[in-house]
Amino acid sequence: MAEAITVARPYAQAAFLFANEHQTLKDWSEMLSLLAMIADDAGMRELIDSPHVTETQLADLFIQIAADQINEKCANFVRVLSANGRLTLLPEIAALFEIQRQDAEGTVQAQLVSAFPASESQQAAIIASLRKRLGREVELSCSTDAELLGGAIIRAGDLVIDGSVRGKLQRLGTALSR
């Protein structure tokens, strides 16, 4: 069977093309994110897998849960996904859509995980450095992880910069064991 990401790609592409044509990329991003959270719920996954619930009932349930947070075009998208048995792919569709949206807008989502909270000036320096390196606008989200011991890890798309003490110790251990 094909991987979920492979099957989700055409749906994400169709949603992106529609949203881009109608200049509603941000709206569609939010709607797909909401639908992905609904599809990712354990109870909802049971209903999706249940042979006692029809595709129409599933689509109506998704639309009802999302209520006024999705528009009619997105509701039709849900109906198409349900008719094709693809509601479980909503998290992958939303992720692929977001990648395409960021490419179109020239932005990249970056994560900063540090042992201690990063100051505003440190965050600004990281954003400026990533902007220069990647040639895109950077949206930075920050979190802390005391297990890093010190330093930080930065992830932006395929780029990973591990400047943590834990990472350095692991690399040292690997080098010594060879």
E strands, the chain, are 107-114, 137-144, 152-156, 159-162
Q: Tell me the residue range of the domain where 173 lies.
A: 107-177
Last residue of a domain, which of 102, 135, 163? Answer: 102
Q: Specify the pLDDT at position 8.
A: 94
**pLDDT at 178 > cutoff 90:** no
CATH number of 59's domain: 1.10.520.20
Q: Specify the pLDDT at position 158.
A: 78
Structural domain total, the chain: 2
Q: Specify the pLDDT at position 59.
A: 95
Shared-domain flag, residues 85 and 123: no
Q: Specify the pLDDT at position 2.
A: 63
Shared-domain flag, residues 90 and 117: no
Last residue of a domain, which of 83, 102, 121? Answer: 102
Place of tokens 């992958």: 92
